Structure 1
Amino acid sequence: MQKIFKCRRYSNEEVKEEDLLKVLEAARVAPTSHNNQPQKIYVVKSEEAKEKLMKDFAYNYKAPCYLVCTCDINETWRNDLDGNKESGDIDVAIVMTHMMLMAEELGLGACWIGRLTPELVRKNLSIPETEKVVAVLSLGYHREDDRPSKLHDIRKSNEEMVKFL
């Protein structure tokens, strides 16, 4: 199996438009609960927009592109069998996973950034109140010296995780 790891060191090369569009198409066709498709994706590429994003952001990997992923709370499916639990976070996670897999297929690196303050990201990028900021995906081409973190190869065995019933 190919070794996929989070990219934290990006080259200065801009993400090719055709590659970005393929990543965004992978998001568009990703399955969501009840096919409600509540995800919204903000492409942050300009220096001005990146500066706004980084204003109150924990990690700046100096990626050429960031995809701010939100879900519209008015379009999120609710599971009436589970206390009306909202599916928005899960839907965005599915969408982001599809984007990460497509990015890898195209030779791009990506890093799922969940350590953020959603309210500040929303405010700094003027995202509507009806959208919940879930996570950010940094995107770009790996720098030559990019390597997996020390923790990358620490994996539980299937015996620890999988139970056959």
Structure 2
Amino acid sequence: MSLLKLMSERYTCRRYSSEEVKEEDLLKILEAAKLAPTAHNNQPQKIYVIKSKEAREKLLTDFPYNYKAPCYLVCAYDELRLGEKLFNENGEIDVAIAITHMMLMAEELGLGTCWIGNFSAEDVRERLRLPKNEKIVAVLSIGYHREDDRPSKLHFINREDDELIIYL
């Protein structure tokens, strides 16, 4: 499948089957994150794999979104790996690129994902006992689509090129 076709078919999954994510699929998804480009190749991303029932319960306590995915990836960056500060801190950008790589790999493997950004990073840090020097950017839910999962209506709305692209 071409990359553009893959990107056009990918949508946010909010209904997962109860099937566990196959270990070989998870390893490919995590490999995709390792291949993501990062500023100065500092590779500050840290990915916490949340699969066990106990770990999912810790993560999802008071969590605003529980899509009942069999796997969640808590995506953070280690501030100590950012290196010399130039004009911008790139940790969030580096993690965003890694997450995008993982979402596209998951799609290629037939898995759905949802980028979750609306949560208290501090609450998640405390519940999972993550180090203070690691900044949580997002949580990625991963699993196989449930049969009744469909893209939202908003998925099919795209702005016109002249609204998005400006030649100077």
1:149 aligns with 152
- Within 5 Å, which residues of 2 pair with 1:105-116? 105-116=108-119
1:13 aligns with 19
Structure-2 separation of matches of 1:33 and 1:154: 32
In structure 2, list runs of 5 or more residues that go unmatched. none
In structure 1, list runs of 5 or more residues that go unmatched. none
1:138 aligns with 141
- Within 5 Å, which residues of 2 pair with 1:1-165? 1=5, 2-77=8-83, 79-80=85-86, 82=87, 85-165=88-168
Query: Can you list the C-alpha shifts for 1:43-96, whole angstroms capped at 9, x where unaligned?
Result: 00000000000012110000000000000011124552x2xx210000000000
Amino acid in structure 1 at the alignment position of 2:51: K
Structure-2 separation of matches of 1:33 and 1:58: 32
Structure-1 separation of matches of 2:59 and 2:83: 28
Between structures 1 and 2, the one with greater helix share = 2
Amino acid in structure 1 at the alignment position of 2:56: K
Structure-2 separation of matches of 1:33 and 1:117: 26
TM-score between both structures, scaled by the size of structure 2: 0.93
Structure-2 separation of matches of 1:111 and 1:61: 9
Structure-1 separation of matches of 2:52 and 2:165: 44
Aligned-residue identity in percent: 65
Structure-1 separation of matches of 2:83 and 2:118: 25
Structure-2 separation of matches of 1:54 and 1:4: 25
Q: What is the aligned length? A: 162
